[in-house]
Structure 1
Amino acid sequence: MGKVIVFGSLSQDLHLHMDRHPHTGETVMSGDIEYRFGGKGANQAVAAAMAGASSVFVGKVGDDPQGHAYLTRLARFGVDTSAMEVVPGTPTGTAIIYNDADGENMIVVAPGANHRMTAADIDKLETLGEGDVLLMPLELPLDVVGQAAHFARERRARVVLNLAPFAALPDEVLSGCDPVVVNEHEAGLLKRAGSTVPSLLVTLGAAGSRWGSFEVPARSVSPVDTTGAGDAYCGTLAARLCLGDPPEAAMTAASEAAARCVLHDGAQPNPETFDEGARR
Structure 2
Amino acid sequence: MRPWTAALAAASFSVVVASSPLPVIVAGRVVFRVVDPGPYGTLAARVQAIDQQICEAISREDVGKPNMIVVQRGGLWSVFIGKTFLVSVYAGDAKLYGQPPKKVAELWAARLKEAFPLVQPLGQMTDKSVATRLDRPLATAQTRPVKVPPEHWGIANTYILLLWKAREVSRETQAEDDLRLAAEIIEDAARHYLAPPVAGGGHEPGTCPSLRTCRDCQAVMAAALAVEEDKRDVATALAGALASDEQATRAVRQAFEYVRHIDQPRFMAERVRMAWQLWQRLAARAARLCPSLEAVQAPAAATPGEAKAAGA
Determine which structure has the larger helix proportion and give its number.
2
Same fold (TM over 0.5): no
**TM-score in terms of structure 2 length:** 0.26
Q: Tell which structure's C-alpha radius of gyration is larger.
A: 2
Q: TM-score w.r.t. structure 1 length?
A: 0.28
